[in-house]
Structure 1
Amino acid sequence: MIKALVFDVDDTLIKYGKQYVEESAIEAINLAKEKRITIIVATGRGYKFLHQDVKDRVKADYYITVNGTCINASDGTTIECYPLSKETTDKLLEICYERDYSFGFKFDDSLQVYVDYPYFISYYCRGAIKKETIDDNSKTRDYHLTHMLPLGCFIYSPEKEAMKLEEQFNDLQFFQGYLHGCECIRNDVNKGKTLKKLVDFLGLSLKDCIAFGDADNDKELLKMCGIGICMGNGSESLKQVSDYVTTDIEDDGIYNALKHYDVI
């Protein structure tokens, strides 16, 4: 019996570049809620950067954010985080300063840009993210000292050369980002592992969960759940590890999949 539904956001609930969840997905989620099924959102975004429509209409019971490095309650309150170590943070700072990379640290409550704020937002905000939501910490560069250690780092470098930094860190994993950006988090963290911790806390089982995703950073999430569903617009490699490939996001993908499995 399905007891929880887990949804990625970009290109799963919301078409990239848009602001609103697909209407058929909202209908399906509301039908699932009537059956007392727990709704979980699992995204690479921090809670602050989630589309307002996700918060207002999906109204998930829990949010797994920043690619699994943070768990948030329904109101955004931080429940648990998995930050970088001080040693790794200091090493990233040293390398990025030395090479003059434009970069920002992701925290549970914000994205703090440490080098070249105008350049960073000129690329990072080309999608649906507003520049007003990103903080300029380039003068003091101290948020990792006054708030908490960062959950991850987003770096802009020529020809994505920062991707090669993975060779210098045995505790980080790097992902290619939009345009020439890349992102890193702890290599012992992903959406799937964090979901396991959350469902254990809730007294549920992963086999009673259905997960939806579209990108390669959803692989562990889909593989660990009882049913892993790839959107029709998803990557070919994700389709290969999923249990079911539904229709595209704009062709009622979520609704059709939940109908297929008799969840709604």
Structure 2
Amino acid sequence: MTRKLIFFDVDGTIYNSRTEIPEATHQAIRQLKANGHILAIASGRAPFTLEKVCRDTEIHNFVSFNGQYVVYNNEVIHENPLDIEALRQLEEQAAEREHPMVYFTHNDMVSNVNHHEHIEKSLSSIKINHPRFEAEYFERHPIYQALIFHEASDDVLYDNQYDALKFYRWHEVSRDVVPSSGSKAEGIKKFAEKLGIAQQDCIAVGDGNNDFEMIAWAGIGIAMGNAVDGLKASADYITAHVDDDGIYKAFKQLQMI
């Protein structure tokens, strides 16, 4: 079989509903590596919040921040920070609506408020503590991704209002903020180009709203059984639920393990 470049989302794909890695997933990863395939993480998470999953899976290549910061073999091969003027406009309008924000560099995160229950609720769901407060942080540091915190009913206040920004809902009270030109697909393209691997030899596995572009671009797009309905509709293959060894079953079905 031709060597494949395989990208895994983290939350809801590698991590199950208890934020644990099933033993069958570990087994699939080991067998895929042994069979000569190249594996990478493709996540909305920041690099410093990927350290544990990278260590536990021994996958050290990653597309982070939904494609905005890409690392292969400890080398940063792509960076795409957010537009500072767009962030100024967004923060001003979010503050008027009492919608807090969190900003990420490649190695740090800060909040623009001291504390907010929506930040606590959403970040604790992926075992991340409420970040510290620091005013105007984005004015002094390159920001690769931000989070904005509000109910889904307020999505309309932000969608299609900023030429340089787009939003992905990942939690009932939180959305990722990324460059309008960015996506996981753009990140995995940079990765494939670096390695000289063709699009048809790329496989992507995911479950969330931020996985649409990646699943569509890859030669084979796999949706987890727990994926959002739209992602299932656009995937080439739907595997079992993450809590039912979905990764292992997918690659067994593809006869890659």
The alignment status of 1:197 with 2:190, answered yes or no, reads yes
* 1:82 positional shift: 0.8
What runs of 5+ residues in structure 1 fail to find an aligned partner? none
**Aligned to 1:97, what secondary structure does the other structure show?**
helix
- Residue deviations 1:100-151, cap 9 Å, x none? 32111122222210123344542233313231xx53133xx24323332x12
Pick from 163, 168, 173 the counterpart of residue 170 of structure 1: 163
Report the Cα distance in structure 2 between the residues aligned to 1:74 and 1:19, rounded to whole angstroms: 26
Report the Cα distance in structure 2 between the residues aligned to 1:180 and 1:253, rounded to whole angstroms: 27
Match of 2:104 in 1: 106
Match of 1:23 in 2: 23
Report the Cα distance in structure 1 between the residues aligned to 2:238 and 2:155, rounded to whole angstroms: 33
Say if 1:216 and 1:235, in contact at 8 Å, map to a contact too.
yes
Q: Which amino acid aligns with 1:147?
A: H
Q: Which amino acid aligns with 2:64?
A: T
Equivalenced residues, count: 256
Distance 1:158 1:208, change over 3 A: closer
TM-score, reference length from structure 2: 0.90
Q: Which amino acid aligns with 2:83?
A: S
Say if 1:160 and 1:180, in contact at 8 Å, map to a contact too.
no
**Aligned to 2:147, what secondary structure does the other structure show?**
strand
Distance 1:219 1:162, change over 3 A: closer
Match of 2:43 in 1: 43
Percent of pairs with identical residues: 26
Q: Which amino acid aligns with 2:9?
A: D
Report the Cα distance in structure 1 between the residues aligned to 2:227 and 2:42, rounded to whole angstroms: 16
RMSD of aligned Cα (Å) = 2.1
Say if 1:20 and 1:51, in contact at 8 Å, map to a contact too.
no
TM-score, reference length from structure 1: 0.88
Distance 1:216 1:147, change over 3 A: closer
**Aligned to 1:117, what secondary structure does the other structure show?**
coil
Distance 1:125 1:193, change over 3 A: closer
Match of 2:132 in 1: 136
Q: Which amino acid aligns with 2:20?
A: Y
Distance 1:207 1:44, change over 3 A: same
The alignment status of 1:155 with 2:148, answered yes or no, reads yes
The alignment status of 1:126 with 2:159, answered yes or no, reads no
Deviating 4+ runs (over 4 angstroms): none
* 1:165 positional shift: 1.6
Distance 1:124 1:251, change over 3 A: closer
Pick from 134, 140, 146 the counterpart of residue 140 of structure 2: 146
Report the Cα distance in structure 2 between the residues aligned to 1:63 and 1:137, rounded to whole angstroms: 28
